[in-house]
């Protein structure tokens, strides 16, 4: 804790000195363009903040995972949050893209950012868990935001969050719940499916919440929809398998599929696009980020009904803000919920009716004020089904 306090004092001292000596120096802010790159471009930026502070010399770093900065997923969402912080506070952001996906690859780029004076480094996703476990000790005077992960040793025998790290998680079950309500309201056949990648907690919570949202819509909005197929493919990479599973579901009369499955989900989107081009009215519910553009076909329409979103950008922005204000919640594991604005549906949903949008907004408010509780475990899901009079289709295992 003492090291963290000293580090924050030095950051504030540096910012104050910069303000007195340089004023609004237009040549001391470094930003990164929004294309895949390992370098930054210098841009002029008048960085005086609303609070009178000049943060243009405060360097905020990011290391991408295996994807690019425009991956329409965790990398892009994280970077957009950092860019929002740049616009608000005038910080100097930079990202580095590793050459590989090993812990050593990630640590190498983290070290490069530390060496170049980046006081806060944001890392997106569980792939960084081991790297941050090591980096938090090696670079004890640097702050880290680990999104959707908790630092642990290589063999998972030790989990540890130091005072210079905050682990940020999301209420996936609430995002899934909202998407389930929307799916039930928009389904024409009343048959709905779920495709998961690996059967791990975040994916399970998406699925449980989605299923509960369907049950809630039946009980409260007069729909008659059911989950008739619920499958974990077992990976996040098998695109062809995802397309085959989606094809099988659509052949059963399912017209809305929630795919929380990475590359497997891409395959499901591909199948939906093929069928939509052939005249079938089928949909995909996206995951993590707004996947609308991923579902666009030649006529300009999209097969993405809506998306169950984690607001990764909100997490990145908010903990940069906390770092700058001296309120960084180091040592904590934090869950962002609907109440925090950490999960939800996209701001724009072209394929949802006005009635559906009104009702999902109502449900979002209920999740936020606690009057609606989305289940986050199998036991809670079963209890929710019972309370709402929902009877599962035979053979569906959650």
pLDDT exceeds 60 at position 22:
no
Within 13 Å and on the Cβ side, how many CA atoms surround 60?
30
Residues 337-382 have pLDDT tens digits of 999 999 999 999 999 999 999 999 999 999 999 999 999 999 999 9
DSSP string covering 153-190, please?
-TTSS-B---TTEEEEEE-HHHHHHHHHHHHHHH-SSS
Start-end of H helices in 252-332: 263-277, 312-325
How far does CA 101 lie from the centroid of its chain? 19
Q: Which two tokens stand for residue 328?
A: 């960084």
**Angle formed at CA 105 by CA 165 and CA 39, multiple of 5 degrees:** 90
What was the pLDDT predicted at 94?
A: 97
Asked whether 62 and 93 are in contact (CB, 8 A), the reply is yes
Domains in the chain, start-ordered, CATH in brackets? Answer: 2-170 (3.40.50.2300), 172-309+344-387 (3.40.50.2300)
Only one residue has tokens 């806060």, namely 120
Residue 286 has pLDDT above 60, yes or no: yes
Nearest CA-CA partner of 247 in 262, 229, 260, 224:
229
**pLDDT value at residue 130:** 98
Confidence of residue 50 (pLDDT cuts 50, 70, 90): low
In sequence order, what are the beta bridge partners of 170?
Answer: 336
pLDDT digits (tens, 9 = 90+) for 83-113: 999 999 999 999 999 999 999 999 999 999 9
The residues near 78 (Cβ < 8 Å, ≥ 6 apart) are 62, 122, 124, 147, 312, 313, 315, 316
Q: pLDDT tens across 131-161, in order?
A: 999 999 999 999 999 999 999 999 999 999 9
Reported confidence tier of residue 74, pLDDT bands at 50, 70, 90: confident
The pLDDT value recorded for residue 51 is 63
3-class DSSP assignment, residue 310: strand
pLDDT tens digits, 162-213? 999 999 999 999 999 999 999 999 999 999 999 999 999 999 999 999 999 9
Place 331 in a pLDDT band, splitting at 50, 70 and 90: very high
What is the per-residue pLDDT across 380-394, written as a single tens digit (0 to 9) for each? Answer: 999 999 999 999 999
With cut-offs at 50, 70 and 90, classify the pLDDT of residue 70.
Answer: confident
pTM of the full structure = 0.81
Interval 222-267: pLDDT, tens = 999 999 999 999 998 899 999 999 999 999 999 999 999 989 999 9
pLDDT of residue 71: 81
Q: How does the average pLDDT of the chain come out, rounded?
A: 89
Residues 304 and 284: their CA atoms lie apart, in Å, by: 5
DSSP-assigned beta bridge partners for residue 96: 63
- What is the structure's pLDDT at 39? 33
DSSP bridge partners of 61: 94, 121
Look at residue 18 and tell me whether its pLDDT is greater than 80: no
Our measurement of the distance from residue 339's CA atom to the centroid of its chain's CA atoms, rounded to an integer in Å, reads 16
pLDDT at 305: 98
Beta bridge partners of 31: 41
- Say what percent of the chain tops pLDDT 70: 87
DSSP H/E element including 89:
helix 74-89
Pairing of strands 332-336, 283-288: unpaired
Instruction: Work out the pLDDT band at 37, boundaries 50, 70, 90.
Output: very low
Q: Backbone phi, then psi, for 359, in 5-degree steps?
A: -75, -40
């Amino acid at each position: 804790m003492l090291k963290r306090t000293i580090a924050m004092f030095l950051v504030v001292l540096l910012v104050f000195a910069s303000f007195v000596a340089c004023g609004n120096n237009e040549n001391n802010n470094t930003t990164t363009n929004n294309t895949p790159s390992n370098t930054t471009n210098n841009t002029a930026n008048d960085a005086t903040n609303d609070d009178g502070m000049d943060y243009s010399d405060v360097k905020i770093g990011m290391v991408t995972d295996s994807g690019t900065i425009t991956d329409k997923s965790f990398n892009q969402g994280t970077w957009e949050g950092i860019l929002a912080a740049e616009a608000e506070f005038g910080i100097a952001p930079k990202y580095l893209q590793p050459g590989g996906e090993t812990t050593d690859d990630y640590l190498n780029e983290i070290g490069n950012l530390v060496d170049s004076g980046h006081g806060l480094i944001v890392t997106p996703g569980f792939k960084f868990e081991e790297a941050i476990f090591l980096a938090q000790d090696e670079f004890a005077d640097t702050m880290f935001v680990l999104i959707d992960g908790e630092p642990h040793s290589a063999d998972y025998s030790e989990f540890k969050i130091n005072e210079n790290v905050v682990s940020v998680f999301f209420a996936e079950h609430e995002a899934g719940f909202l998407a389930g309500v929307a799916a039930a309201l928009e389904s024409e056949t009343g048959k709905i499916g779920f495709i998961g990648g690996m059967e791990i907690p975040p994916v399970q919570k998406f699925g449980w919440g989605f299923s509960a949202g369907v049950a809630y819509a039946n009980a409260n909005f007069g729909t008659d929809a059911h989950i008739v197929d619920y499958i974990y493919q077992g990976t996040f990479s098998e695109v062809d398998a995802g397309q085959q599973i989606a094809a099988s579901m659509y052949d059963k009369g399912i017209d809305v599929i929630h795919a929380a499955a990475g590359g497997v989900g891409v395959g499901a989107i591909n199948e939906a696009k093929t069928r939509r081009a052939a005249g079938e009215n089928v949909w995909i519910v996206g995951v993590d980020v707004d996947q609308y553009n991923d579902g666009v076909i030649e006529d300009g329409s999209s097969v993405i009904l809506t998306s169950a979103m984690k607001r990764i950008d909100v997490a990145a922005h908010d903990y940069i803000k906390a770092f700058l204000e001296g309120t960084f919640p180091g040592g904590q594991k934090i869950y962002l919920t609907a109440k925090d604005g950490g999960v939800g549906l996209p701001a724009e949903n072209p394929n949802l009716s006005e009635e559906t949008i009104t009702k999902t907004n109502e449900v979002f408010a209920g999740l936020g004020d606690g009057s609606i509780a989305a289940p986050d475990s199998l036991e809670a899901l079963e209890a929710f089904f019972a309370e709402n009079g929902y009877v599962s289709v035979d053979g569906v295992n959650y």
